[in-house]
Amino acid sequence: MLFTGDGKGKTTAALGAALRAAGHGATVCMIQFMKGRPYGELAAARKIPGFTIEQHGRDEFVDPQQPEEIDIELARRGWSRAREIVSAGKTDMLILDEINVAVSFGLIPLPEVVELIKNRPAGMDFILTGRYAPPALIELAHTVTEMKEIKHHYQNGIQMRKGIEY
């Protein structure tokens, strides 16, 4: 599955799928690229057997034109970890949160992502999230959902809220 678009809810949709899978006894791992904030889902996942979330990013926005060396390094560590998980073949669902953005910003090579998806173990489900989904990943996905922003509370001066945005 792939969740993309400029609207809110891509990670939330992936978390919903993870919750459903975990409820049926599946093991789920979410790798969050370019995220370092203590999101509520981290605390919730600790309470759900078989569901883990790993963050590989900072609590800073990444400059798409000139990502800092630390952002490149953290993304590559996350990518290395994703490949380890796939190689081990013991996870039922792997969520690559914000992978589309990491690819778009040049932090992770698209051909490597395509190769990993094509060569994943039978029965391992992948969910990819983030804006800027490349056509190659859209083509590979069995299900693609585009979140479209129609209205966002930031436009009305409402700031980030605990439990809603993080």
From 28-32, 138-142, 153-157, 160-164, the region with the lowest mean pLDDT: 153-157
Q: What is the pLDDT of residue 152?
A: 81
What is the per-residue pLDDT across 58-111, written as a single tens digit (0 to 9) for each? 999 999 999 999 999 999 999 999 999 999 999 999 999 999 999 999 999 999
- Going by DSSP bridges, is the β-strand pair 125-129/93-97 parallel, antiparallel, or unpaired? parallel
pTM of the model: 0.94
Q: What is the pLDDT of residue 20?
A: 98
Please give the Cα distance from 153 to 2 (Å, whole number).
25
Please give the Cα distance from 124 to 139 (Å, whole number).
18
Mean pLDDT of 11-37: 98
pLDDT bracket for residue 161 (50, 70, 90): confident
Assigned CATH topology for domain 2-156: Rossmann fold (3.40.50)
Mean pLDDT of 133-149: 98
What is the per-residue pLDDT across 118-137, written as a single tens digit (0 to 9) for each? 999 999 999 999 999 999 99
Within 10 A of 145 (CB to CB), how many other CB atoms are there? 15
Query: In Å, what is the CA distance from 163 to each residue of 1, 39, 40, 149?
Result: 25, 8, 6, 20
Please give the Cα distance from 12 to 70 (Å, whole number).
26
Q: Is the pLDDT of residue 145 over 80?
A: yes
Q: What is the pLDDT of residue 166?
A: 85
The answer to whether residues 91 and 85 touch, using CB atoms and an 8 Å cutoff, is yes
Is the C-alpha dihedral spanning 73, 78, 81, 83 positive or negative?
A: negative
